[in-house]
């Protein structure tokens, strides 16, 4: 997986007033948990932009006052009116402990059903997986070349080495739906 570095500073004062002051100065209060103890820190709003506003999933190398921690995003909160980031939670990851994370789905190939006039529909953009950090790919590739009209790919049909898919086995990842033109062409045959 790709990594991205974020420079941050520990927070000394916790609570509403201190958090409000942080946000006014353009910083985002954050928490790192999953290690020996929870670490409260803050980073500039601009540090998080390249991490949040992308479909990619990253392992975050948090540099908190010179100490490095490897982590993933667990939760983020946005202001309901302005849409500004107001809080973010990170989970510390270790090489020997499996993590649960959502990875983006990438469709590979041209479906036979699309060639016959159907419309390809990506039903799930991300799938929840469990595995060691070293085994996690950047994207989950799904081959759709043999997908016919009215057919779909379910989570139970997918298999990746070293990771376990946690979504329901019968949930559809991608499907080729019949269009009116394809339905009319089928009725003529």
Q: pLDDT band at residue 118, thresholds of 50, 70 and 90?
A: confident
Q: Is the pTM of this model over 0.85?
A: no
Q: How many domains does the chain have?
A: 2
Q: pLDDT band at residue 179, thresholds of 50, 70 and 90?
A: confident
Per-residue pLDDT tens digits for 49-91: 888 888 888 899 999 988 899 999 999 999 899 888 899 999 9
pLDDT at 32 (0 to 100):
93
Q: Would you state the structure tokens that stand for residue 14, as one six-digit string?
A: 């916790």
pLDDT at 2 (0 to 100):
86
Q: Looking at the structure, do residues 6 and 88 belong to the same domain, yes or no?
A: yes
pLDDT at 88 (0 to 100):
93
What is the C-alpha separation between 73 and 31, in angstroms, rounded? 10
Q: Looking at the structure, do residues 77 and 140 belong to the same domain, yes or no?
A: no
Domain of residue 110: give its range: 99-188
Q: What is the CATH number of the domain that holds 155?
A: 2.170.120.20
Which of 97, 46, 101, 35 has its CA nearest to residue 68?
35
Which of 157, 142, 153 has its CA nearest to residue 176?
153
What is the C-alpha separation between 173 and 14, in angstroms, rounded? 43
Residue whose token pair is 């939670």: 89
Q: Would you state the structure tokens that stand for residue 5, as one six-digit string?
A: 């570095």
- Flag whether pLDDT at 187 surpasses 80: no
Q: Looking at the structure, do residues 88 and 9 belong to the same domain, yes or no?
A: yes
Q: Would you state the structure tokens that stand for residue 164, as one six-digit string?
A: 């376990």
Is the distance from CB of 51 to CB of 85 less than 8 angstroms? no
């Amino acid at each position: 997986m790709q990594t991205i570095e974020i420079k941050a500073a520990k927070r000394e004062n916790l609570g509403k007033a201190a958090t409000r002051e942080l946000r006014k100065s353009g910083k985002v209060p954050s928490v790192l948990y999953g290690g020996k103890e929870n670490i409260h820190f803050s980073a500039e709003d601009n540090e998080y932009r390249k991490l949040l506003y992308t479909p990619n999933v990253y392992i975050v190398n948090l540099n908190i006052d010179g100490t490095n921690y490897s982590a993933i995003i667990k939760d983020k909160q946005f202001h309901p009116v302005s849409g500004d980031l107001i809080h973010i939670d990170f989970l510390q990851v270790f090489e020997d402990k499996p993590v649960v994370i959502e990875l983006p789905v990438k469709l590979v190939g041209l479906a036979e059903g699309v060639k016959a006039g159907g419309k390809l529909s990506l039903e799930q953009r991300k799938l929840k997986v469990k595995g060691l950090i070293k085994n996690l790919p950047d994207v989950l590739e799904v081959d759709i070349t043999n997908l016919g009209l009215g057919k779909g790919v379910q989570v139970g049909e997918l298999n990746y080495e070293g990771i376990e898919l946690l979504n329901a086995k019968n949930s559809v990842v991608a499907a080729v739906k019949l269009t009116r033109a394809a339905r009319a062409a089928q009725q003529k045959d």
